[in-house]
Amino acid sequence: MGVVTKRSSMTYFSDPSDHYSHRVRIVLAEKGVTVELINADPSNLPAELSEVNPYNSLPTLLDRDLALFQTAVMMEYLDERFPHPPLLPVYPVARAESRQFIHRIENDWCPLVTKILVGGAGAAQASKELRDGLVSIAPIFAEKPFFMSEEFSLVDCCLAPILWRYKDLNLDIPRTRQTLPLFEYMERIFARDSFQESLSEPERDMCPL
């Protein structure tokens, strides 16, 4: 990672092209955590990964004797272990809402991303559904600078990697008055130092804007 401090030493096994891996890299960069980043090929996984992760999957975060292999757990762990800057709201109601937004992204949109990337007969329909979903929520970004929030949060960390890939996913989002707030949101997110630091080499080639 480009952002380095003396706050911690961790190992992160990351797929450099995967949006799930990307979201945790954003959190690591946002927190300024020292991390040994291991870019791994999902078709040729490092042998040591199976020793710490029962699913032998990417991404995997190691912190001393702790091994985490679910990205929502990783992000919340990092946010609690390194509380500044906070990436979840302080108040319980707002925290619960943020967690629910993340749940909806993971259940409504992430499966569509997977279908598009796998290809086949359902890919075109999945692209349409994902595009339509993003277009329908575009106006909310005119209300607040981040996803339903005045502050950058873990919800943005989940959404940003998908938006960064929107051209690669063939979403063909039109630039209209309705979608303008979404494009302005993307510009704000993508310009953040933490986002730029989080990008792998394959992701830099995507460059949607």
Which domains are present in the chain? 92-192 (1.20.1050.10)
pTM of the full predicted structure? 0.93
Confidence of residue 183 (pLDDT cuts 50, 70, 90): very high
Which residues lie closer than 8 Å to 208 by C-beta, 6 or more apart? 163, 164, 165, 166, 167, 168, 186
Please provide the DSSP assignment of 94-126 as one string.
Answer: HHHHHHHHHHHIIIIIHHHHHHHHH-STTHHHH
Helix (H, G, I), strand (E, B) or coil at 85: coil
Q: Residue 44: helix, strand or coil by DSSP?
A: strand
- Residues with Cβ within 8 Å of residue 103, at least 6 apart in sequence: none
| CA separation for the pair 41, 51 (Å, rounded) | 17
Assess contact for 199 and 160: CB atoms under 8 A.
Answer: no
Helix axes 19-31, 71-81, angle to 10 degrees: 0
Distance CA 156, CA 147 (A): 6
Cis peptide before 208 (omega within 30 of 0): no
pLDDT band at 8 (very low <50, low <70, confident <90, very high): low
Token readout for 176 is 């209209």
Tokens of 64: 């001393």
What is the Cα Rg of the chain in Å? 17
Residue 166's φ and ψ, nearest 5 degrees, are -65, -35
Q: What one-letter code names the amino acid at 37?
A: L
Express each pLDDT in 85-136 by its tens digit. 999 999 999 999 999 999 999 999 999 999 999 999 999 999 999 999 999 9
In the sheet that 10-14 helps form, which strands lie side by side, from edge to edge?
35-39, 10-14, 60-63, 66-68
For residue range 126-164, list pLDDT tens digits in order: 999 999 999 999 999 999 999 999 999 999 999 999 999
CA distance 139 to 179: 7
